[in-house]
Structure 1
């Protein structure tokens, strides 16, 4: 589980909006002298607030400190979907058109079309699967809900 501390900004009927501060590990990195991320961190561009909507049944109030978490499987699957799928479709479309004997401009246009198609498929998949409990962030710590509750992360599989 990938965890992040945050503060509750807004409370809805079945969810809360949490503000998190993106943390950098530049202070412990050996290559920080020649790194672009460390330079951005120094000028303050890397310090951005993140806002995320988290479904919960806990009794939270504005200002509560909470820990939210996202399952590693969700991060890995989303990364593969958003980065690998468009690249695979781009190369597949380009190679197919090249093998068909088309000219270089059409091969480039076809590869670009494959890339765009990959992003479209990824967006459609995310829209369909984004509401699945396994892919949603959870409130891990904070005020406890009323009554005993058990959360099983592995109960939802797709």
Structure 2
């Protein structure tokens, strides 16, 4: 499980909104110049927020500004990264090869490559939208508090 520290920015009855990139640590990271998160945070002036389920915990135990620890399974990060980076690349290559052998003109092949890249990006976006509420893909709170089991 990959662990990340975040800061609670809002408390809801069934979950927390958490800011995951700390500006103080982001500025001291060795990968700062090559990090897309750092660049986005600088350009937009804010970081991204995650919603995290309390999973039976009491919302009264959490307050705005609390530092909490989140966990994400390694396979979720690895599989998600492969999907996000390779699917657009594969659709770009497939469209390029199809246009090259189907039509054979250089301009059409270049346009097909761009269309393939955009199609791959659209597929990634669609997949993210359809799986946004999948509990297996969501970060979880990692703490010493016990989860309340509902008996039905």
Identify whether the pair has TM-score above 0.5, normalized to the shorter chain.
yes
Provide the alpha-carbon RMSD of the alignment. 3.0
Q: Could you tell me how far 1:134 is from its partner in structure 2? A: 1.2
Q: Match of 1:153? A: none
* DSSP-derived class of the 1:52 partner: strand
* DSSP-derived class of the 1:102 partner: coil
TM-score normalised to structure 1 length:
0.73
Q: Which sections of structure 2, spanning at least 5 residues, go unmatched?
A: none
* DSSP-derived class of the 1:53 partner: strand
Listed as ranges, the matches of 1:135-150 within 5 Å are 135-141=137-143, 144=145, 147=148
Count of residues in Structure 1 that have an aligned counterpart in Structure 2 = 139
Partner deviation per Cα, 1:84-117 (whole Å, 9 max, x = no partner): 0000000111011101133100000011101000
Q: Match of 1:4? A: 4
Partner deviation per Cα, 1:102-136 (whole Å, 9 max, x = no partner): 31000000111010000111111111122111110
Q: Which sections of structure 1, spanning at least 5 residues, go unmatched?
A: 150-158
Q: Contact 2:57/2:148 (CA < 8 Å) preserved in 1?
A: no
Is 1:82 aligned to residue 84 of structure 2? yes
Q: Which runs of 4+ in 1 moved over 6 A?
A: none
Distance 2:97 2:147 in 1: 58
TM-score normalised to structure 2 length:
0.75
CA separation of 1:25 and 1:76: change in aligned 2, threshold 3 A: farther
